[in-house]
Amino acid sequence: MNSFQYVSPHTVDSAVSLVTDHGRFLAGGIDMLGEMKEYIASPRVLVDVKKLPATRAVTPGKIWTIGANVTISEIEQHGELKRVFPGLQQAAAEVGSPQIRNVATVGGNLAQHSRCWYYRHRDIQCLKRGGNTCYARQGENRYHSLFTGNPCISPVVSNLAIALAALDAKVIVRRGKDEVALTVPDFYAKAWDNPEAHHSLGPTDLILRVQIPDDGRTCAYKQISEKASFDWALVSCAAAAKVDGNKLSKVRVVLGAVAPVPYQVPAAHDYLEGKELSDDVATHASEIILKDAVALDHNGYKVPIAQALIRRTLKQLVG
């Protein structure tokens, strides 16, 4: 890592002032320190946000509030949260390892950077790092996107983002002097258009909390990795719906690790609205969702996995 100054402010105002354009926020540290050790990021100052007020609590309610510094472990082990948002708990349980979950935060998980192995290589200046080329496009792209809006094909890797998107959660961000509430699609929108973006946050934007409406829907999350644990998802899927017997309403189905953003197709939600779930219905929904998928040289296997996960996640909703 390069040399840097370290500061641990007690107010959000200080944090936002101190980070400047040469600094970075430090939460759990897994992503930040990982990038710094490869000199992919070399901030002059690290602003530790863990002591900021009102960022550590999970508060149930009609709208649940989860502070940005709530750890993934805390999400995973929160009994009431598991009951109300089982898919969010399942997504949290698959993040990294217990050691990572004990320090990684909700905010950090959402804001984490690409895991593309070209992007993460210390000596490759790829498109996302301001260079000219996406090396993955013609190269080793087995882990990359089926859907792309721009030449960078690295997919979003946050598990929580997929579940939160299905739950219509909002991310409350301090931007300049204001607090803005971003839907999850808006939180990632910039990554769809801009190859250098991992999400829509500016360098001094700070995630404060996440809000999730408890609107009587249930949710589920599944992922497939190469290993049984501690492995990035090849494909992940979150679904949420109001369930009445086998009938679904207010449905969301979101795919992860297949696009720079949590991927959802409104037409699939429209199709599923009011339907009795069956294998055929689930299959048809997956066809709608995957309609625009374009396989690269080495990631075509993600299509059948996505199909299977959509079916299985929907099935898990109805129990």
Partner 1 sequence: MPNWPAKPSVVGGNTTRIDAPAMVTGAAKYSSDVQTSGWLYGMIYRSRWPAAHVTSVNVDKARQVPGIKAAVVEREGGRTVRFYGEELAAVAGVSEQACLDALRAISVEATPLPFVVKEEIAKDPDSPRVWPDAPNLADPSVKEQGDVDKAFAEAAAVVEGFFTTPVQIHHPLEPHGNTVSVTKDGVTCWASTQGIFSVREGLASYLDVSQEKVRVITDYMGGGFGAKFGPGAEGGLAARLSQAAGAPVKLMLTRFEQSLAVGNRPSSFQRIRLAANADGKLVAFDMDAYGTAGIGAGTASAGGGGGAGFPAPYIYTVPNIRVKQASVAVNAGEGRAFRAPGHPIASFGMESILDELAAKLKMDPVEIRLRNDSSQIRKREYEIGADRFGWKRKYKPPGSSPGPIKVGVGCGGATWGGGGRGSQAEAQINPDSSVEVRCGTQDLGTGTRTLVAVVAAEVFGLKPGQITVKIGDTRFPPSGASGGSTTAASVCPAIFDACTNALQKLQETAGIADARGANWAGACKKLGVNPLTAHGEWREGLSSRGVGGVQFAEVEVDTETGFVKARKILCVQDCGLVVNKLTCETQIQGGIIMGLGYALYEERVMDSTTGFVLNPNLETYKLPNFADVPDIEIILMEMPERGVIGVGEPCTIPTASAVANAVANALGVRVSSLPITPARVLAALGKAAKPGGSV
Partner 2 sequence: MSERPHNEPFDKEISRRSFLKGLGSVVVATAAVPAGAVAAGTEQIEKLGAEKTLGPGRVPITLTVNGKSLKLNLEPRVTLLDALRNYSDLTGTKEVCDRGTCGACTVLLDGKPVYSCMKLAIEAQGHDITTVEGLAPVGRLTDVQQAVVDNDALMCGYCTPGFVMTVTSLLRNNPHPTADEVRVACSGNVCRCGTQHRMLAAVLRAAGAPVAETIEVIRSA
Binding positions for partner 2, rule: CB under 8 A: 1-11, 13-15, 17-23, 26, 29-30, 33-34, 36-37, 39, 42, 44-46, 48, 50-51, 73, 96-100, 102-103, 122-125, 131, 229-230
The reply to whether 82 sits near partner 1 by the rule CB under 8 A is no
The reply to whether 151 sits near partner 1 by the rule CB under 8 A is no
Question: Can you tell me which of 179, 193, 270, 292 binds partner 1, judged by CB under 8 A?
Answer: 292
The reply to whether 294 sits near partner 1 by the rule CB under 8 A is yes
For residues 40 and 120, the answer to whether their CB atoms sit within 8 Å is yes
Using left for φ > 0, alpha for ψ between -120 and 50, and beta otherwise, residue 39 falls in: left
Cα four-point dihedral sign 215, 91, 208, 58: positive
Angstrom CA distances, 10 to 21, 47, 176, 269, stand at 20, 11, 17, 43
DSSP 156: P
Question: Can you tell me which of 25, 64, 85, 117 binds partner 1, judged by CB under 8 A?
Answer: 117
Q: Which stretch binds partner 1 (CB under 8 A): 62-70, 186-194, 230-238, 261-269?
A: 230-238
Contacts with 81 (C-beta within 8 Å, 6 or more apart), sequence order: 58, 60, 64, 75, 88, 89
Residue 175 or residue 298: which is nearer to partner 1 going by CB? 298
Q: Which stretch binds partner 1 (CB under 8 A): 11-19, 78-86, 256-264, 300-308?
A: 300-308
Q: How far apart are CA 45 and CA 23, in angstroms?
A: 5
Angstrom CA distances, 34 to 78, 109, 140, 148, 286, stand at 28, 13, 22, 26, 35
Instruction: List the single partner that 7 binds among partner 1, partner 2, none, CB under 5 to 8 Å by kind.
Output: partner 2
The reply to whether 138 sits near partner 1 by the rule CB under 8 A is yes
Question: Can you tell me which of 84, 157, 207, 224 binds partner 1, judged by CB under 8 A?
Answer: 224
Instruction: List the single partner that 13 binds among partner 2, partner 1, none, CB under 5 to 8 Å by kind.
Output: partner 2
Residue 51 or residue 301: which is nearer to partner 1 going by CB? 301
Question: Can you tell me which of 214, 216, 230, 270 binds partner 1, judged by CB under 8 A?
Answer: 230
One-letter amino acid of 19: V
Token pair of 271 as six digits: 């199709």
Q: How far apart are CA 50 and CA 104, in angstroms?
A: 11
Q: How far apart are CA 276 and CA 202, in angstroms?
A: 43
Question: Can you tell me which of 61, 151, 176, 304 binds partner 1, judged by CB under 8 A?
Answer: 304
CB 32 to partner 1: min, Å: 16
Question: Can you tell me which of 66, 296, 314, 317 binds partner 1, judged by CB under 8 A?
Answer: 296
The site for partner 1 (CB under 8 A) is made up of 1, 3, 117-118, 121, 123-124, 135, 138-140, 142, 146, 224, 226-232, 234, 287, 290-305, 307-309
